[in-house]
């Protein structure tokens, strides 16, 4: 096992659990909620986070990142079960990919485009930030739906 898995994976896993816990609060019908205006639905917000995670997983495999991938699976935005299954597959793939790295591999850089390079370890820090931003967005939706926040989300996010 490498240093990143020893020192940071628990943060990634904990953030994944927060995300899954938010899904546990929702019914399939809740995924259709739209706070109004030009905003996306709750289901689209969860799909977008999966697309972002996919981008990070692929960046760990190819050392190049782009955010072009879109999941077009029918009904993904409207099914908590489909979202959970997809997230679990992405989480497992990320863990397996990171677990295979040596400490030396963690120093390799990922090309994030436009001349921006980032070491693998920092890439995971940025991914964690993306997860926390997503959780913040999801809490706004939940509050607009008058749904209570889980205790662990209140403790981590506020």
What is the pLDDT, as a whole number, of residue 37? 77
Q: Is the pLDDT of residue 155 over 80?
A: yes
Kindly report the pTM of this predicted structure.
0.95
Instruction: State the alpha helices, DSSP H only, in the chain.
Output: 3-7, 9-24, 42-62, 80-99, 120-144, 151-156
Q: Is the pLDDT of residue 38 over 80?
A: no
Smallest CA-to-CA distance from 12 within 42, 41, 53 is with 53
Q: Which residues pair with 118 in a beta bridge?
A: 110
- Please, is 86 exposed, middle or buried when counting C-beta atoms within 10 Å of its C-beta (0-12, 13-18, 19+)? buried
- Spatial separation of the C-alpha atoms in residues 91 and 58, rounded to whole Å: 12
What is the pLDDT, as a whole number, of residue 157? 79
What is the pLDDT, as a whole number, of residue 104? 93
Distance of CA 143 to the CA centre of its chain: 20
What is the pLDDT, as a whole number, of residue 138? 95
With H, G, I as helix, E, B as strand and everything else as coil, classify residue 119: strand
With beta carbons less than 8 A apart as the criterion, state whether 54 and 21 touch: no
Q: Could you give all domains of the chain from N- to C-terminal order, each with its CATH number? A: 3-156 (1.20.120.450)
What is the pLDDT, as a whole number, of residue 156? 80
Question: Each residue of 52-93: pLDDT tens digit?
Answer: 999 999 999 999 999 999 999 999 999 999 999 999 999 999
What is the pLDDT, as a whole number, of residue 1? 80
Question: Each residue of 109-143: pLDDT tens digit?
Answer: 999 999 999 999 999 999 999 999 999 999 999 99
Backbone φ and ψ of 118, nearest 5°:
-145, 130
What is the pLDDT, as a whole number, of residue 114? 93
């Amino acid at each position: 096992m490498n240093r990143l898995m020893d020192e940071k994976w628990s943060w990634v896993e904990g953030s994944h659990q927060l995300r899954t816990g938010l899904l546990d609060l929702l019914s399939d019908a809740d995924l259709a909620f739209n706070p109004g205006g030009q905003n996306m639905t709750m289901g689209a917000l969860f799909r977008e986070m999966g697309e972002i995670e996919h981008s990070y997983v692929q960046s760990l495999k190819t050392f190049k990142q782009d955010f072009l991938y879109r999941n077009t699976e029918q009904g993904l935005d409207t099914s908590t079960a489909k979202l959970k299954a997809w997230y679990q597959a992405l989480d497992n793939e990320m863990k397996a990919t990171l677990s295979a790295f040596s400490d030396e591999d963690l120093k390799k850089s990922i090309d994030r485009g436009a001349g921006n390079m980032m070491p693998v370890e920092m890439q995971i820090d940025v991914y964690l930030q993306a997860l926390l931003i997503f959780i913040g967005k999801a809490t706004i939706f939940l509050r607009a739906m008058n749904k209570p926040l889980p205790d662990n989300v209140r403790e981590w996010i506020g």
